[in-house]
Chain A
Amino acid sequence: MPAESYQDDGGDQVEGGGEMTTMNVAKYKGLPKGLEGDRAVAEAMRQMNPDVVAAYPITPQTEIVMRFSEFVSNGEVDTEFIAVESEHAAMSSCIGAAAAGGRVQTATSGAGMALMWEVLWVASGSRLPIVMHAVNRSLSSPLNIHCDHSDTMGMRDAGWVHIFDENVQEAYDSAIQVLRIAEHPDVMLPTLHALDGFIIGHSVERMETLPDEAVKEFIGTYTPKYSLLDFEHPATFGPMDLQDYFFEHKRQQVEAIQNALDVIVKVGQEFGELSGRPYGLMEEYCMDDADYVLVALGSTAGTSKVAVDMMRDSGVKAGLLKIRCFRPFPHKMVSEVLGKRKVVGVLDRSISFGAQTGPLCLEVITSFFTHGVSPKVVNYVYGMGGRDITPAHICEMYKELVEIDKKGITGPVQRFFGVRD
């Protein structure tokens, strides 16, 4: 376990750590399977055996709810499954059940997440460690069921810890880790992990699950400090909080989500000891000598690794920085890893309408400014509504980064890759 702190104490995040590499020694041998992302998440939920799951099916998350309700019907879990009438009710039920002291999970996508909006803030403000499996989908209108990050980016300021998965294996692994992150006493915040709709959610990949007893050991038991059902120590949850204390409670939430930086790394390391797959806040690919770096979230990070290999074959010093943890944003590490590169391109699969760049690029540029580094940066908005992104597309971006190095940035910082002009 790394000794350094990754927390933001007055802007001093310590260098290093958090990188994902393969460990040779794992406590448990994995069980190889071919699963879609949704099924892998449902399998993780079965192994975690939550006290309560309240969820409403929505494409492309449907298979999680469908599969998990089968586990409930077959008696394979002890979970109280609440078939709610909407996502607003799903999250509200999760809040009640979590306040009652249960281990609580839900899953949603796109419009369903948007319908949760009001109560997402109640979950974080009430400091309830609810786990959400979010399968990324665009937001209407026009109606579209395919992947972009508009949904989870829309809740980026709701006070939830927010992790992105690259592939089915990560979706399974993160599904288990987020429970530990959420319940950590220094955090106590609702936590989501996001897997790209269809691209991860519905694609079968070779992956490994842990034995049931390994997951059971990893998640341990949960005893909340306060609970509505603890009649010996009565507590009021979610009371009125006006001008005198509301701000102090928001300040506590800021502290808690910053604490998650350390916790995510520790939990990721511990998961690595168990499975051979350690996790951190981000992952560097071919970054030792990289001059031209793309920054990406989700499944596009995997596609970009192929593109990096292709560019390296043609002699370009290309590299990739995959951001796993978007909230809290590891700004110090990002500025340290990227500060001295020639050109950085940031990939956004969502649009912050009226802002200069997409949400990830805004974070990256802010990190550079606050830590006093200034590599050239451009922003590629891509893949809206599930538009395909291939290694060849990403190679075009790397080639543009090389051109920018020679000629400087001409044209707007935000570029819309793959849209017809």
Chain B
Amino acid sequence: MALKSWKEILIGGMITDVGNSINYKTGDWRSYRPIWDDKKCNNCKVCWVYCPDGSITIKDGVMIGMDLDHCKGCGICAQECPQKAIKMMEETKLREAVK
């Protein structure tokens, strides 16, 4: 996306296309990645309640995974999960494993 000049943008940094934070991928800050074990998960959605970034993806009332484009890897979901169905793993190790 081409950056605009100061003459082309709203004053004061104002945003009128609300909800555009979805376009800002904060997931690449993450140093720990949540790994979800769907076999242990009983779909209680406590993780969804606690997630500060709305990164628990729910479809038709069922937890189906994490939005890794926006998950910052805080680990609150892993801490709060009553079923211990989420564990945090270091991104660097996961990336090395892919290589």
Contacts and interface: CB of A to CB of B under 8 A. Distances in A.
B3 A241 contact: no
B6 A239 contact: no
Given A127-B12, A238-B12, A241-B13, A248 B18 contact: no
Contacts of A127: 11-12, 14
A256 B11 contact: yes
Interface stretch (A26-34, A228-236, A393-401): A228-236
B4 A252 contact: no
B13 A239 contact: yes
Interface in B13-27: 13-16, 18
Contacts of A256: 11
A246 B5 CA distance: 11
Chain A, interface size: which category? Answer: 20 to 34
Contact of B9 (A188, A233, A248): A248
A125 B12 contact: yes
A238 B4 CA distance: 19
Contacts of B6: 248-249, 251-252, 255
Contacts, number: 51
A106 B78 CA distance: 48
A126 interface: yes
Interface in A35-79: none
Contacts of A353: none
A256 B10 CA distance: 13
B12 A234 contact: no
Contacts of A226: 10, 14, 16
Interface in B57-90: none
Chain B, interface size: which category? Answer: 10 to 19
Nearest to B18: A234
B15 A239 contact: yes
Nearest to A128: B12
A186 to B, nearest CB: 11
A249 B16 contact: no
A369 interface: no
B15 A245 contact: no
A236 B15 CA distance: 5
A237 interface: yes
A233 B10 CA distance: 14
Contacts of A239: 13-15
Given A244-B3, A248-B4, A237 B12 contact: yes
A226 B14 CA distance: 9
Contacts of B15: 235-236, 239
Contact of A236 (B3, B4, B11, B14): B14
Contacts of B10: 226
A283 to B, nearest CB: 32
Contacts of B12: 125-128, 237-238, 249
B14 A245 contact: no
Contacts of B3: 244-245
Contacts of B14: 127, 226, 235-237, 239
Interface in A213-270: 226, 233-239, 241, 244-246, 248-249, 251-252, 255-256
A128 B14 CA distance: 11
Contact of A234 (B4, B5, B13, B16): B16
A259 to B, nearest CB: 12
B16 A235 contact: yes
A16 B13 CA distance: 36
Nearest to B20: A236
A252 B7 CA distance: 7
**Which of A128, A188, A235 gathers most chain B CB within 10 Å?**
A235
**Which of A128, A246, A248, A255 gathers most chain B CB within 10 Å?**
A248
A256 B14 CA distance: 16
A6 to B, nearest CB: 21
12 contacts: A226-B14, A226-B16, A234-B16, A235-B18, A236-B14, A237-B12, A237-B14, A245-B9, A249-B6, A249-B13, A252-B11, A255-B6
Interface of B: 3-6, 9-16, 18
Q: Which 3 A-B pairs have the closest CB atoms?
A: A127-B12, A248-B6, A236-B15
Given A234-B16, A239-B13, A248-B5, 13 more contacts: A125-B13, A126-B12, A234-B18, A235-B15, A235-B18, A236-B14, A237-B14, A241-B13, A245-B3, A245-B13, A246-B13, A248-B6, A248-B9
